[in-house]
Amino acid sequence: MQNLTLVLEGGALRSLYTSGVLDVLMKYNVEANYVLGVSAGALTGMNYISKQQGRSAKINIENCDNKKYIGIKALRREGGLIGYNYLFEDLSKNAYPFDYETFKFSKQKFISVITNCEKGITEYVEKNDCKVDIFKVVQASSSMPLCSKMVKIGNSHYLDGAVTMPIPVDWAIEREHKNILVVLTRDRNYRKPEVSNTMKRVYKRVYHKYSNLVEKLCTMPERYNKLKEHINALEKQGRIMVIAPKEPVTVSRLEKDREKLKKLYEDGKNDMEEKIERLMTEVGIL
């Protein structure tokens, strides 16, 4: 295991880029001691911890038009556009078996980032926290607002970690981690547009019982854009390494075009291959 921290942005099916990056790390036996995943970054990161090269990409590419996984059947059966029960049960136990034993006993620290809806704050949950079901936490981390139901854990309700902390690089900086690789699913120059007044009204209507959550939802773009500037500055200072798509990503969060997904996956692999020697040198493998 290497002295390396991975910070994985979400983005639903844009995480095919992250899958490519992580598959190259597995190819070269680069085993980070900390993996911090947000939303789809947490889902993708689980396969890195279980050491299943290619699994995440295969599930998402082969099932992008499977309505039990993403779409109307998932909505009818599970109340959200993503079928998490279908993913964690049917797909993970039968069609694409997940290596639960390797995941469970891995010494790597796997942290999933979630948003507490009552408080409107970020929470970080490590997989070996015996008080919670890490699969339920990962589901919460990737439950997109308006597209998914809230996930109840203990006495609180949770949604997508990206609502409050889309790229948790400062978690690693504050703990003085030395080798930090941030994997983005948008190009470095991407910035979110402001939330429209119409969408603000939708948030207030749907989440009227959660005023702290509404405030975070309405200010997501401003906070995300400042965070991207912060990441760019950290990269220039040499405090972190960043890997991101070279061009603007046209893949949507719930993309149905397999060819576009395959290309994004290959982009992630190719971009990591270009940087693997430098990364392995910095963490002391070479």
Type and span of the H or E element at 9? none
How far, CA to CA in Å, does 147 sit from each of 142, 159, 267, 279? 10, 10, 27, 37
Q: Are strands 109-116 and 121-126 parallel, antiparallel or unpaired?
A: antiparallel
| Paired tokens of 198 | 């119409």
Q: How far is CA 14 from the centre of its chain?
A: 9
Q: How far apart are CA 250 and CA 228, in angstroms?
A: 19
Q: Measured between alpha carbons, how far apart are the two ends of the chain, in Å?
A: 14
Over residues 9-66, the pLDDT tens digits come to 999 999 999 999 999 999 999 999 999 999 999 999 999 999 999 999 999 999 999 9
DSSP, collapsed to helix, strand or coil, labels residue 18 as helix
Q: How much is the pLDDT for 182? A: 98
Q: How much is the pLDDT for 132? A: 83
Q: How much is the pLDDT for 72? A: 86
**Three-state secondary structure of 43-105:** HHHHHHHCCCCCHHHHHHHHCCCCCCCECHHHHHHHCCCECHHHHHHHHHHHHCCCCHHHHHH
Q: Which residues in the chain show pLDDT less than 70?
A: 130
Q: How much is the pLDDT for 158? A: 98
User: Taken in order 262, 75, 94, 50, is the CA torsion positive or negative?
Assistant: positive
Q: How much is the pLDDT for 130? A: 64
